[in-house]
Amino acid sequence: MDCVTLKNEWSCTVLSGRRIDCEPRGPNETMPGQNEQNHHRMALNNWLQGHPRFGKVTWAQSQGGLQHDPVWSATAYVRGIEYGKGMGTTLGEAKEKAAYAALAALKTSP
């Protein structure tokens, strides 16, 4: 298991040689480059379209936490292999984090 830091804000752990889990280093950190103009799910889908040997992304998602304070978890799979996982207070946030991690992992895969 290796640990890497992205832009001194995110700590990412590489697991099983492919999957990357990312979490903020501080309580109020955002993903690198995150703003209204960046959409990591769209970037992942666009990258996959340009690399058809990988196929499409599929998702697994779950909700936990309290009803008034939910925690969503999303996992991105490509060819049935887990490439990224993310957690957030909304399903969209969790998927964005998972897509960011998946794209980083896919770009480094052979």
Q: What is the pLDDT of residue 110?
A: 76
pLDDT in tens, 27-81: 444 555 554 446 999 999 999 999 999 999 999 999 999 999 999 999 999 999 9
* Overall fold of domain 39-108: Double Stranded RNA Binding Domain (3.30.160)
Closest CA to 75 of 60, 88, 65, 64: 60
The chain-wide mean pLDDT, for the chain, equals: 80
pLDDT in tens, 71-110: 999 999 999 999 999 999 999 999 999 999 999 999 998 7
Q: What is the pLDDT of residue 22?
A: 62
- Contact indicator for 102, 78 with CB cutoff of 8 Å: yes
| Structure tokens given for 66 | 């309290």
Closest CA to 71 of 85, 86, 84, 90: 90
Domain boundaries, the chain: 39-108
